[in-house]
Amino acid sequence: MHKLHWGSELGQQDVVDIVKLAAETGVFTPDEIDCLREDSIECLGLAQTDGEKRDALAVLRDSSGALLGFVQIGKLPITENSWCLWWIAVAKEAQGKGVGTLLLDWSFKKAEFLSCSLGSAREFRMFIETSSKDTFAPARGLYTRSSFVETARIFNYYSTGDAKVIFVRESER
């Protein structure tokens, strides 16, 4: 039985496992892994405070406690009600079984719930930024299948030939 944990249920071991899982997917650079570690630690700290209302980190574990995947979202500062999916990854051996879809669905519903609890405007949207590289083709496929639409492409953003691709999904409200 898989179980999703988030907010104050999370601890330091989750950060260790998240970083290990992300590194093992083989798609992230060492700089990105460092950035992920910092973001996860920050989100963990926020989970103990009011910040939990604006940021959410969730991990999905199987019945033995093994980490299957994780996702991190947050409200974008100085926007009325725009959210960003900062990170998502699924363990290599768990990929292709619907875990990424489940985590993405959870993220969108969580953003909706948090935006309601913040008393924000009824409409909200979620952005995801990714790379145009072939290694991120599964991620772009996942986003498209989950009702995200490519809204911008910034050429040579990450490096020459590697564009930033921005996806958005609007709420139905």
In the bound state, the residue with its beta carbon closest to ligand COA is 100
Q: Which residues contact 49 (CB under 8 A, 6 or more apart)?
A: none
CB of 47 or CB of 69, closer to ligand COA: 69
Question: Can residue 101 be called a binding residue for ligand COA (CB under 6 A)?
Answer: yes
* 73, 85 contact by CB (below 8 A): yes
Query: CB 1 → ligand COA: shortest distance, Å?
Result: 16
Q: Which of 2, 3, 20, 97 binds ligand COA (CB under 6 A)?
A: 97
CB of 52 or CB of 168, closer to ligand COA: 168
Rounded distance between C-alpha atoms, residue 137 and residue 20, angstroms? 21
Question: Can residue 142 be called a binding residue for ligand COA (CB under 6 A)?
Answer: yes
Q: Is the dihedral of CA 13, 130, 140, 166 positive or negative?
A: positive
Question: Can residue 96 be called a binding residue for ligand COA (CB under 6 A)?
Answer: yes
- First-to-last alpha carbon distance for the chain, in angstroms, is 33
DSSP reduced 3-state for 86: strand
* 126, 168 contact by CB (below 8 A): yes
Span interacting with ligand COA, options 8-16, 109-117, 131-139, 156-164, rule CB under 6 A: 131-139
Question: Can residue 158 be called a binding residue for ligand COA (CB under 6 A)?
Answer: no
Q: Given the rule CB under 6 A, which residues bind ligand COA?
A: 25, 27, 88-90, 95-101, 130, 136, 138-139, 141-142
